[in-house]
Structure 1
C-alpha cells in the first residue's frame, strides 16, 4: 500500500508554537489545527456544518451529533480518523530578527514600543506530511482535505501566525487519494453545532508583485529597510540575519511593514481593531512576507474575510504609496521601490465555483 503523503516546501517560515509560545519543533497538533481551520472554512462555504472546536459551543451537540468537520477531525466521543506524522531531514530554525512597533503601546500602565519577531522553520528540502488513516475516510472527505490543501498552497498559509507573514507553502507532491475529485456538498451531514464564520464565500485573496530598482541583497547591505523608531531605546538591528533570510531562505521579512501600511486604510480605531486585530484578538486580514521571485522582486499575499468592499478596494489601490511610507528607513530610500502591482485576485466564491 502506497504511503499517503504530501510533500511541501515552505516559502515563508512555518510557525507551530508550544504552550510557552516558543517554536522549538514542527508540531503535528498545530498543523492539524491549521488544516482543520481551512477545512471548516471550505465546509461552511459548501453549506455544511462546522463548529468552533475551540469554544464551549463545540461538538457534540445536546443530542450527541457532530458537525461535518468533526466527522474527520474528531471531537469529544468521536476520534479523529487519521494520524499525522511530519518528516524532514533538513529542517532549520531561521535566524530571528525583530521589527519594532510604529507607536508605543500601553503595557501595564506604561507606554512602550514592542518588538515583533520574525521566526519559525524553513527547510532545505521538502517537509513530508504523512496521513495515516485510523478509520475509513470517505472519498468526499479526501476530496475536501485535498481542496483545503490546494487553497492553503495557492492562496493562504499553513500553521500559526499566518497574519504576520508565516506559512506560505508550495505543494511539491501530493499522493493523497481523490485529489482530482470535486467535493460534493449534497452528501455533507449538516448536523451538530455550527457557526457561520469564517466562510469561504466571504474570503478574498490578493497576490502582489513587488519590484525594487536595485537588487534586494544590495538594499539589505545599504540598510534601507525600516526596523524601528528612532527613539526605540535598546533596539539592536541584525542585518546579518536579514542577509541570511534572503540569501539562504529566499524571503524578505516585510509582513509587518505591509500590515502597518494597510492598517491605514481604516481611520476608525475600533473598526481597525475589528479588522486587523489587537492584543488578544485575532486578525481578519492575513499578510505574507515577500518570497523571492527574482533578484529584485518578491511576491506577497494578502487575504482575509468579512471585510467591506471599500476596505478591499483601498488595499488594492493604495498599497504601493502606503508601502513606500512604511517600508524604508529614510525619505531618500523611497525611490528604491519601482512598483507594487496586483497580479492575481480571487474571491472565495470563485474558488467555490470551481469546486462545485
Structure 2
C-alpha cells in the first residue's frame, strides 16, 4: 500500500469525513510514539489508566504554559489528554475498499494444524469482508497549535513525519497489526533534514519527563527482520482460501502471514529446541516445572492470548510484493524485553535468536534491526 504524506499548513476545519477513520490511525501512531519516547528514556503514560491532565487553574495564575503541562507526559503533550487537545489532525483521502482474500497454507506437521489455521483465519476476519487498499492513499497532516515556544507547528509536523517514516520502515500501522495488516510505503519524497529534525525534537520531548517503565513497549526492546520469500515457498502456494471468489479469480489473494505466525507458535509450544534458542533460561525453568507448561508460558507471552486479551510481542505481516523483483517480502517485528516476569516465572530472552528459528524456512533476513539505534537508519 502506498501512502502520500502531505504537510498541510491549512487550518480549515470544514473537511469531509474520510473513509478510513482517523481514530484508528491516531491510536496506532500514539502506540508507536510511546515506544519511541520510552526508547529515549522518557516517560509515556498508559492512556487506558492515565493521570495526565492539563492544570488550567495553575496556568491561569501564571500564564506559563509549562505550569499547566507540569503533570502531562511527553506523549500526551503531542497526542492530547484531559484539558489539552492533540496538536495535529489527519485528513485521509482516496482510500478504497476491495474484497478481502487471503491464502492460508501451513507447513506444520502437527495434527489438525492446517484445519486449525483456516479456522482461526475465519474467526479473525469473519467481520472483515473488505479491507482498505489502494495504490495511493493520501494523508494530510494539519497542525492545530504549538506545544510551547520550544515545539512550534513546524516541529510538530516534522515529529509526525518522522513517526510515519519509522512505522513505514520498521513495522505496520492500524488496529490490526497483530493480524498482519497495516504495511505501507511512503511514496512522497520527504526532505531528510525534516526527518532528522523530527528525530531530534522527539529526543528533546522525551527528556522533559524521564522514567523507566516495565511491561510496556520500548524501542530498547525492538527488533525488525525482513525476509525475501521466493515464489516456490509453500507459504506462497494457495492451498486454502478465505475471502471472496471474485478477488480470487482476479488473482488478488494475499499470502497470509498469520499462517507463518501460527506455525511458529505451534513449534515453540510443542518443541523444546526453539524454546532453548529464544529463551536463555529455558532449561533452568524446566528444573522446577513441567517442560510442557514452560513451553506454553513462553508461547503465550510471545504470541499473546485472545482469551486473556494479552497482546502478542511478535508480529508477522501478510506477505507483499517486492517493488524491485517478483519475490514476496515478509516483515517480522516486535518488542521483546531481555527479562520479564510473566505467569509467576522470570523469562530471559535472546531475541536475536528468533532469526535462527526462521532460518530453516526463509534463510537469513536481508535486513535486520535491533534496539533504538535502528531509528537513525530512518533518516539516512
TM-score, normalised with respect to structure 1: 0.69
Residue in structure 1 matching 2:26, options 22, 32, 36: 32
Whether 2:310 is the aligned partner of 1:272: answer no
Deviations 1:197-252 (A, max 9, x none): 211111000001111338999x43xxxx356xxxxxxxx886664454xx44xx63
For residue 36 of structure 1, report the CA deviation from its aligned partner.
1.1
Residue in structure 2 matching 1:208, options 204, 227, 241: 227
Q: Which residue of 1 aligns with 2:50?
A: 57
Deviations 1:151-198 (A, max 9, x none): 111110010111221001000116699334242424545339984421
Q: Which residue of 2 aligns with 1:95?
A: 100
Q: Classify the secondary structure of the residue corresponding to 1:4.
A: strand
For residue 50 of structure 1, report the CA deviation from its aligned partner.
1.2
Could you say which structure has the larger radius of gyration?
2
- Would you say the 8 A contact 1:82–1:131 is kept in 2? yes
Aligned partners of 2:354 and 2:304: how far apart in 1? 17
Q: Which residue of 2 aligns with 1:257?
A: 259
CA gap 1:297/1:307 in 2 versus in 1, 3 angstroms: farther
Aligned partners of 2:102 and 2:232: how far apart in 1? 24
Structure 2 gaps of 5+ residues are 1-5, 9-17, 56-67, 269-274, 276-293, 339-347
Whether 2:161 is the aligned partner of 1:130: answer no
Whether 2:88 is the aligned partner of 1:82: answer yes
For residue 281 of structure 1, report the CA deviation from its aligned partner.
1.4
Q: Which residue of 1 aligns with 2:179?
A: 164
Structure 1 gaps of 5+ residues are 6-23, 106-111, 228-235, 324-338
Aligned partners of 2:155 and 2:123: how far apart in 1? 41
Aligned partners of 2:228 and 2:86: how far apart in 1? 40
Deviations 1:99-155 (A, max 9, x none): 5998889xxxxxx95434455534333111122222125254444322221111111
Aligned partners of 1:297 and 1:214: how far apart in 2? 10
Aligned partners of 1:4 and 1:127: how far apart in 2? 14
Residue in structure 1 matching 2:354, options 312, 315, 320: 315
Aligned partners of 2:366 and 2:165: how far apart in 1? 19
Q: Which residue of 1 aligns with 2:3?
A: none
Aligned partners of 2:84 and 2:161: how far apart in 1? 22
Q: Counting helix residues as a fraction of each chain, which structure ranks higher?
A: 2
Q: Classify the secondary structure of the residue corresponding to 1:49.
A: coil
Matches within 5 A, 1:1-356: 4=7, 25-54=19-48, 56-60=49-53, 65-88=71-94, 91-97=96-102, 114=120, 115-117=122-124, 119=128, 121-136=131-146, 138=151, 139-173=154-188, 178-181=194-197, 182-184=199-201, 185-186=203-204, 188=206, 190-191=208-209, 195-196=213-214, 197-213=216-232, 219-220=237-238, 225=239, 241-242=247-248, 244=250, 247-248=251-252, 252-263=254-265, 264-265=267-268, 266=275, 268-279=295-306, 280-293=309-322, 297-308=327-338, 312-321=351-360, 340-352=363-375
- Would you say the 8 A contact 1:26–1:121 is kept in 2? no
Aligned partners of 1:284 and 1:31: how far apart in 2? 20
TM-score, normalised with respect to structure 2: 0.65
- Would you say the 8 A contact 2:228–2:328 is kept in 1? yes
- Would you say the 8 A contact 1:262–1:315 is kept in 2? no
- Would you say the 8 A contact 1:66–1:193 is kept in 2? no
Q: Classify the secondary structure of the residue corresponding to 2:223.
A: strand
- Would you say the 8 A contact 1:60–1:192 is kept in 2? no
For residue 31 of structure 1, report the CA deviation from its aligned partner.
0.4
Q: Classify the secondary structure of the residue corresponding to 1:190.
A: coil
Root-mean-square deviation (CA, aligned residues, Å) is 3.9
For residue 58 of structure 1, report the CA deviation from its aligned partner.
4.2
CA gap 1:314/1:136 in 2 versus in 1, 3 angstroms: closer
Aligned partners of 1:123 and 1:183: how far apart in 2? 33
CA gap 1:341/1:100 in 2 versus in 1, 3 angstroms: closer
- Would you say the 8 A contact 1:100–1:116 is kept in 2? no
- Would you say the 8 A contact 1:65–1:192 is kept in 2? no
